[in-house]
């Protein structure tokens, strides 16, 4: 009975400490997981520049198609419906 009397106050003191530690631990792990490392950042920059080049190419192709065949947008809309 003496051990139980000591165990309850000890648990009451240590439980909040453990809970706070666990919350802070996983909060820092989540932050670490969300941040990009150098390789991922470089890859993201490469993909962004590739997307910008592709957007420019699409714009150029649409300009050419508008000059060559002005009704191409109408034909595409009809095919999709």
Query: How does pLDDT run across 15-47, given as a tens digit for each residue?
Result: 999 999 999 999 998 887 778 788 988 999 999
Please indicate, yes or no, whether residues 27 and 47 belong to a single structural domain of this protein.
no
User: Is the overall model pTM greater than 0.75, yes or no?
Assistant: no
Contact 36, 44 (CB under 8 A): yes
CA 72 to mean position of chain CA atoms: 37
Please indicate, yes or no, whether residues 49 and 79 belong to a single structural domain of this protein.
yes
Helix residue spans in the chain (DSSP H) = 2-34, 38-68, 72-80
d(CA 45, CA 65): 30
Sign of the C-alpha dihedral computed for residues 37, 39, 44 and 45 taken in this order? positive
Please indicate, yes or no, whether residues 15 and 2 belong to a single structural domain of this protein.
yes
Domain housing 80: 37-81
Please indicate, yes or no, whether residues 27 and 41 belong to a single structural domain of this protein.
no
Report how many domains make up the chain.
2
Please indicate, yes or no, whether residues 56 and 72 belong to a single structural domain of this protein.
yes
pLDDT of 77 strictly over 70: no
Please indicate, yes or no, whether residues 56 and 26 belong to a single structural domain of this protein.
no
- More confident site: 57 or 73: 57
């Amino acid at each position: 009975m003496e051990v139980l009397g000591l165990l309850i106050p000890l648990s009451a003191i240590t439980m909040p400490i453990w809970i706070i530690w666990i919350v802070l631990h996983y909060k820092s792990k989540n932050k670490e997981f969300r941040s990009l490392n150098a390789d991922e950042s470089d890859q993201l920059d490469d993909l962004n520049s590739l997307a910008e080049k592709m957007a420019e190419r699409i714009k150029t192709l649409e300009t050419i198609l508008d000059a060559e065949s002005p009704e191409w947008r109408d034909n595409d809309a009809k095919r999709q419906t």
